[in-house]
Amino acid sequence: MEASVMEAARLAKAHGLFNLVFGIWPLLHYRSFEAVTGPKSEPWLVKTVGALMAGIGYTQLRAGGSHAGLNAAGRLGVATSAAFAVIDAVYGGRDRISRIYLLDAVAEAAWVLAWLRARNGLR
């Protein structure tokens, strides 16, 4: 496996694990999730987003080593992380959600940059 494909495969696994873990967190232990991120008015919505995030993570973990699989994992990773980064920055910056989400915005932006870098190597 060439180096760029290996790098993208490692990125897919790392980002997939991140999304899976942070997606299932509110599903497994909602109280600790709220303790860190602040109280929520719609627990069902938090759990829905968590379940979707976990599904995205699982999909990324299953990308394999093919160009097609890794490109799909990258597109999914960029789209998901860009959406989370914008929401986190806008609403965290306006104090509509806990400022802890500003840290997530930074993490999500880092995932976007990592995928853009890796995807350039897959072409």
Domain boundary assignment for the chain: 3-122
Is the overall model pTM greater than 0.85, yes or no? yes
The mean predicted confidence, pLDDT, of the chain is: 95
Report the share of the chain in percent with pLDDT over 90. 92
Distances (CA, A) of 37 to 22, 34, 81, 88, 106: 12, 5, 18, 12, 15
Average pLDDT over residues 50-54: 98
What is the per-residue pLDDT across 61-85, written as a single tens digit (0 to 9) for each? 999 999 999 999 999 999 999 999 9
